[in-house]
Amino acid sequence: MNHRSLRTHLTLAFAVMAIVPVLILGTIQVQQINKLTQEYNKTQEHATKRLADAVETYVYYYRNAVDTLATTISASGPGFRDRAGLTRKIQSVKNNLPGFSQLYVTDENGAIKALSPDAESGNAHALPVGTDLSSREYWKKVKLTLQPAISVPMHGAEGGSAPFVAIAAPLYSENRAFEGVVIGILDMGQIARLVTQYDYGPGAYPAVLGPAGRVIYHPQSELVQSIADLSGEPAVQAAASLKEGMDKFVSGANGQKELVSFKTINSLGWTVWVGRSYAAVQEAFFASLKSTFLLLLLTLGLTVLLGSYLAKRLNRTIHALVRYTQSLAADRYTAPSEPLSSPGAPYEMHYLASQFAQMAEQIHDNRQALLELNSELEQRVEERTLSLQQQHATLAAILESYSDGIVLIDVNQQVVLANRRMAELFGFDGKELLSLTEEELLSRIARKMPQPDEEFARIGRKPNPTGKFTLVRSPGDERVVQLASFQVTDGGKEFGRGYVFRDMTKEHEIDSLKNDLISLASHEFKTPITSIKGSVETLLRKHAGWDEEFKQELLEGIHEDIGRIQELIDEWLDISKIEAGALSIHPAPVRVRSVVEGAWQRLPHTLSADAQLHIDLDEELPLLYADKRRMEQIFINLFTNSIRYNESKPHIRVTAEPNGLNVRIFVKDNGIGIPEAHLPHIFDRFYRVDVSSSRRTGGTGLGLAICKGIIDAHSGSIEVHSTEGTGTTMIVSVPIYYGQTEDDNEET
């Protein structure tokens, strides 16, 4: 066998020791950069949702302003509808809402009756009174539907030379006849300032598109001025089908591959996105790999040189020690004729050589010391006896402090030792225990069982009795006790038997909870998995000619079942985060209606198809300061319970009212209701009101516990009021948003 030299071994060892930390650090660095990239992606997604909510809220307030102005003018008397009166009204709105570049009021034929600002105010683009706007599509739409309308981005004389979006609302005469239109021209520059005020992360940019993919805001100003059609952009097409998401796309406008997060504003038909150059996203990752590789090469080279140098210095001392060892092995003890350690050797090697020389000298001296040890043997035996007595006392103390009941039986079947826990567990007198035989002890224990078991008193006759039994110490105090036995022996000689009685009540309760949990999880997963298996086996049949409609139906069923499994997993993850106090939320201003409608839309169609939802919300309700996705999760759970636990056609009514610093949202249904005895426990984990009903309707018993965890994270509250047989009302209290933007809008 070929053996490598110490020098080679040390060089390789140093190289490995240097490379491993570098590889670990490099791996950690790559993982951290990858994690940072994921965090950037999450930040970009949140920024997109925040941008969508901000744009939707901004347009909502300006639309509300135009609608309110139209309502105010319609409610005014004839004396206040002349040009001067109308000008004062629209001028007041224009002063308070700088986002309007122009406000017009037309008569029933589309001719302008009043405007602000006009040419006399220094507005060179102002249209003269009498200009006909009846040919505008938004004007026609308002007249036809008698409902407020928002135009697509467009050019027109009413907006001057810049592109604009028009918001129009109908006017009515005293007898509710159509009398004209109020038109507000949104300043695209104000929208641009709204969009660019947020931080979207390094290298990211926002974009806002109107209906049909027309540009409202884009960093490239020429696209805004030309109201470019970007409906062909892959991100826009993805938003049209998916509504929101994140993916890599090749941007035609920027001519590069980008990571784009997008969202469609359903109430407006607008699309927003936040894009980032994909090359910039990957740049940090590859830079880290490069630096790690270069550091690895440099470290390897330096380590080989250093290891070789150190090994050379160590070899000299080791060779001297080997020669001296060979001399000792030949029984030729002499003092070393030369230093065993070479100059420049490490301190440890020098110390080792010195100690080795001393050890050789001491070997001879120790031979005489061995004779002296024989005379000390008797003294050591006495000391050992004393030590055993001390150990016996220590063992007795340990038995007394042991948490299990322990009793020892001698070869005559008599109790010789019982600890304090044994007396406490069975309610015996400690001194009385020592007077009992083995059979008397077991017989007394058997009488404390729910049904006295005479067979238990005879288990002492078995070789190694074990078992588990229930002990009734007092009414209402039942304990599950595990019995184990052992033989007391020493050197093959048997001295008796020992029994260990362990209180397993807590473990029994945990095991029961585990079994219930496993049963619940297996039941909830079994149904969708069985359905998926059946559908897949049907589709895999080679000789069956299924039509496309039937295949689509099976695939949709598989998709729904997978969604159910994902929901179950999400519920387990959410309840784990809640229990660990690690549930994170991202609050932002959000409307109550948006949350409720979003939650209803996310319900499976098979669940909500036969249900009726009535939303009765005041349009003046304050904004909520909440995580929209998490709030939708709460209402999805509440709607699901209202539909599942209902023996008639489900009817759900949602109302809300401000209450101090919160908004109270009421979800009332016509379901079967909850018995009063169960109300204090419905927010507990795995609590089921009716096991049979729960098995019929499905569910894990975690939904309301998750709801409470989410609302607690918002510093809100959730309550329940229910009457069995008539229905249930859930009350969710959510903090109000008091940001500067909301205060300004409310004053307006």
pLDDT of residue 642: 92
Q: What is the CA radius of gyration of the chain?
A: 42
What is the side-by-side order of every strand in the sheet holding 477-490?
A: 415-418, 405-410, 493-503, 477-490, 467-474
- Identify the weakest region by mean pLDDT among 89-103, 292-306, 380-394, 590-604: 380-394
Tracing tokens 């796309």 back to the chain, one arrives at 249
Burial classification of residue 310, based on how many CB atoms lie within 10 Å of its CB (0-12 exposed, 13-18 middle, 19 or more buried): middle
Relative to beta strand 612-616, strand 651-659 is parallel
Alpha helix ranges (H) inside 402-504: 420-426, 430-433, 438-447
Distance, in Å, from the CA atom of 20 to the CA atom of 404, rounded to the nearest integer, reads 48
User: Which amino acid does the sequence have at 514?
Assistant: K
Task: Express each pLDDT in 524-537 by its tens digit.
Answer: 677 778 878 887 87
Alpha helix ranges (H) inside 603-713: 605-608, 628-644, 691-697, 703-713
Task: Express each pLDDT in 10-44 by its tens digit.
Answer: 667 767 776 777 778 777 867 777 777 778 788 88
The DSSP code for 414 is: B
- Identify the weakest region by mean pLDDT among 94-108, 466-480, 580-594: 466-480
Helix, strand, coil content of the chain in percent (nearest 5): 55, 20, 25
Contact 315, 7 (CB under 8 A): yes
Contact 11, 316 (CB under 8 A): no
3-class SS at 462?
Answer: coil
pLDDT of residue 643: 93
Contact 70, 293 (CB under 8 A): no
3-class SS at 273?
Answer: strand
pLDDT of residue 742: 41
Structure-block tokens of residue 256: 């590069």
pLDDT of residue 517: 60
User: Between 569 and 114, where is the model more confident?
Assistant: 114
Distance, in Å, from the CA atom of 746 to the CA atom of 735, rounded to the nearest integer, reads 17
Task: Express each pLDDT in 650-691 by its tens digit.
Answer: 999 999 999 999 999 999 999 999 988 888 888 876 666 654
Of the ranges 254-268, 306-320, 327-341, 632-646, the best mean pLDDT one = 632-646
Confidence band, pLDDT 50/70/90 cuts, at residue 744:
very low
Task: Measure Cα distances from 396 to 43, 50, 487, 489 in Å.
Answer: 64, 69, 18, 17
Burial classification of residue 635, based on how many CB atoms lie within 10 Å of its CB (0-12 exposed, 13-18 middle, 19 or more buried): buried
Domains of the chain (ranges plus CATH)? Answer: 41-299 (3.30.450.20), 385-503 (3.30.450.20), 509-565 (1.10.287), 583-747 (3.30.565.10)
- Identify the weakest region by mean pLDDT among 29-43, 249-263, 376-390, 593-607: 376-390
Average pLDDT score over residue span 688-707: 63
Confidence band, pLDDT 50/70/90 cuts, at residue 502:
confident
Q: What percent of the chain has pLDDT over 90?
A: 21
User: Between 396 and 176, where is the model more confident?
Assistant: 176
N- to C-terminal Cα distance for the chain? Answer: 93
Q: What percent of the chain has pLDDT over 70?
A: 80
User: Between 105 and 15, where is the model more confident?
Assistant: 105
3-class SS at 283?
Answer: helix
State the SS3 of 197-238.
Answer: CCCCCCCEEEEEECHHHEEEECCCHHHHHCCCECCCCHHHHH
Peptide bond into 202 cis (omega under 30): no
